[in-house]
């Protein structure tokens, strides 16, 4: 006989279909006349004299043992293979049936009742035809009725109404509440609606406190990082600009430390326009002398420093230059040379004007 023919039902037992599976198995066993082996009504025969069993007693015991083992094989073949291994070492069909019921047959399985209700609430026809949709929904109704059979007990009705409010309330919570939802549904006795609401509110309070601490820690880290950035920036500026009041121990001039002194470290002195540090002043002097010749020919000479305009007096081309006027022009030209030298050369470390 093949294993397939030993199955009592086409639906194998898994973690969540015990009620429908058990009903199908009892129907089949009843049709085979073997239901008493699982219900306990057909027990092992006992000899009149256990110490001296007769041949008839031994024959009855052997027949019962054969039938009981046959029932056990049918039931084990009707369980998913990954689950059947835990029931292999039971001794009788009755013991096997009770063990299966103890593992999967809890009628106060609030998690599964909640799941069934959610599936019923959110069931849609979708792409299924009407018959498939009706069969699926009816099966869920019947399975739910196995967990919650009809009753006329007022206390039981009130208890179920309280549970229904809990199921609806938990069903409206998002997935972030899965932990607290599982904690509630796994309770040996489902808490009241007010107790469930209090548990969720405590969870919200815990999250608020944790989020506040996390935000404070994050802000503290950001402030430390910002302070470190500002400190590094100021440090870089201090290295670039130097201390204006610092006095060099070598040249005795203000504005730079000894390790930035150009006298001791001439390689630190910037080179401008590719020809050394003082070329700007030489070029300025040449331009000044050219401007002096231009002035003597009757043109204006102008210089500018920080928005202040220095303009020479125009000289008549035909008139000879007077000594006093020439002195004034030469003084202005000297000032212009200083201005141009300052504009062309002064960048870099804060040395005094004598260093340029």
Per-residue pLDDT of the chain (356 residues), as tens digits, is 445 567 888 889 887 788 888 889 999 999 999 999 999 899 888 888 888 888 888 899 999 999 999 999 999 999 999 998 899 899 999 999 999 988 887 767 888 889 889 999 998 988 889 999 999 899 888 888 888 888 899 999 999 999 999 999 999 998 889 889 988 988 888 999 999 999 999 988 888 888 766 666 666 666 666 666 665 555 555 555 545 567 788 888 877 788 888 888 887 777 654 444 444 445 555 555 555 555 444 444 444 444 444 444 444 444 444 456 667 777 777 777 666 655 444 444 444 444 44
Measure the CA–CA gap between 223 and 286, rounded to whole angstroms. 56
Give pLDDT, residue 51: 83
Give pLDDT, residue 306: 43
Give pLDDT, residue 170: 92
Give pLDDT, residue 211: 78
Measure the CA–CA gap between 23 and 105, rounded to whole angstroms. 12
Give pLDDT, residue 126: 87
Give pLDDT, residue 5: 66
Give pLDDT, residue 220: 65
Give pLDDT, residue 30: 92
Give pLDDT, residue 316: 42
Cβ-contact 300, 311 below 8 angstroms: yes
Residue 207 corresponds to which tokens in the numbers above?
């999250």
Model confidence pLDDT, tens digit, residues 51-102: 888 888 889 999 999 999 999 999 999 999 999 889 989 999 999 999 998 8
């Amino acid at each position: 006989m093949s294993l397939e023919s030993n199955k009592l039902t086409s639906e194998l037992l898994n973690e969540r279909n015990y009620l429908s599976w058990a009903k199908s198995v009892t129907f089949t066993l009843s049709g085979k006349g073997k239901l008493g082996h699982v219900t306990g009504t057909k027990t092992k025969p006992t000899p009149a004299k256990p110490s001296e069993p007769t041949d008839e007693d031994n024959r009855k015991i052997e027949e019962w043992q054969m039938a009981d083992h046959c029932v056990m094989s049918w039931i084990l073949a009707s369980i998913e293979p990954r689950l059947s291994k835990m029931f292999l070492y039971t001794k009788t069909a009755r013991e096997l049936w009770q063990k299966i019921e103890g593992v999967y047959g809890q009628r106060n399985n609030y998690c599964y009742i909640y799941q069934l209700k959610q599936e019923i609430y959110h069931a849609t026809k979708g792409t299924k035809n009407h018959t498939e949709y009706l069969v699926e929904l009816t099966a869920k109704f019947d399975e739910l009725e196995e967990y919650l059979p009809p009753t006329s007990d007022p206390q039981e009705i009130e208890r179920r109404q309280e549970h229904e409010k809990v199921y609806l309330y938990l069903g409206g919570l998002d997935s972030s509440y899965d932990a607290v939802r599982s904690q509630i549904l796994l309770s040996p006795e489902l808490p009241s609606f007010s107790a469930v609401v209090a548990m969720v509110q405590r969870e919200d309070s815990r999250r608020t406190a944790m989020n506040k601490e996390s935000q404070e820690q994050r802000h503290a880290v950001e402030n430390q990082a910002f302070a470190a950035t500002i400190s590094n920036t100021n440090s870089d500026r201090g290295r670039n600009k130097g201390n204006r009041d610092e006095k060099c121990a070598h040249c005795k001039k203000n504005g730079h430390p000894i390790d930035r002194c150009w006298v001791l470290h001439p390689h630190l002195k910037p080179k401008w326009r590719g020809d050394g540090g003082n070329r700007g002043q030489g070029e300025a002097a040449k331009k000044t002398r050219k401007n002096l010749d231009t002035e003597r020919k009757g043109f204006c000479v102008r210089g500018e420093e920080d928005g202040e305009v220095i303009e020479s007096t125009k000289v008549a081309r035909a008139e000879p230059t007077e000594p006093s006027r020439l002195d004034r022009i030469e003084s202005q030209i000297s000032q212009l040379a200083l201005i141009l030298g300052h504009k062309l050369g002064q960048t870099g470390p804060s040395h005094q004007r004598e260093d340029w």
